């Protein structure tokens, strides 16, 4: 989080603001995050897409590790040099198109089973 705390698309101050807006006072924010769920077993297959220049990249990696440890079929893909919200910037961020194609392929396969 500290290495990419001031990226153009998401910064640590913005994350703090989002937490203040989304988490009721007195609530542990971990209760709202799937990363901190007690049990991740029995979930459908997961594709975890991580842009490497994102303050939340380590969260995505840890979530994929926890899913895998719980026996959930999990695929982690990291997109080098991509920033948070890169998927919404095709034509601007070169990693967006291959990531979108991977997501569509994953969904087609998962939904056809």
What is the model's pTM? Answer: 0.78
- Can you tell me the distance from the alpha carbon of 105 to that of 103, in angstroms, rounded to the nearest whole number? 5
Give the chain's mean pLDDT: 87
- Can you tell me the distance from the alpha carbon of 53 to that of 1, in angstroms, rounded to the nearest whole number? 10
Q: Return all residues near 62 (Cβ < 8 A) that are at least 6 apart.
A: 35
Q: Are strands 74-83 and 46-53 parallel, antiparallel or unpaired?
A: parallel
pLDDT tens column, 71-83: 999 999 999 999 8
Give the pLDDT band (50/70/90) at residue 5: low
pLDDT tens column, 34-67: 888 999 999 999 999 999 988 888 999 999 999 9
Residue written as tokens 């979108």? 100
Distance, first Cα to last Cα, the chain: 37
Residue written as tokens 């895998």? 68
């Amino acid at each position: 989080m500290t290495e990419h705390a001031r990226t153009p698309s998401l910064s640590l101050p913005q994350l703090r603001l989002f937490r203040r807006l989304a988490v009721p006072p007195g609530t542990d924010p971990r209760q709202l995050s799937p990363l901190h769920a007690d049990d991740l077993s029995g979930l459908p297959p997961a594709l975890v897409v991580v842009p490497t220049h994102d303050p939340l990249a380590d969260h995505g990696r840890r979530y994929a590790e926890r899913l895998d440890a719980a026996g959930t079929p999990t695929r982690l893909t990291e997109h080098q040099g991509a920033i948070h919200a890169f998927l919404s910037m095709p034509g601007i961020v070169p990693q967006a198109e291959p990531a979108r194609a991977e997501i569509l392929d994953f969904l087609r396969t998962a939904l056809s089973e």
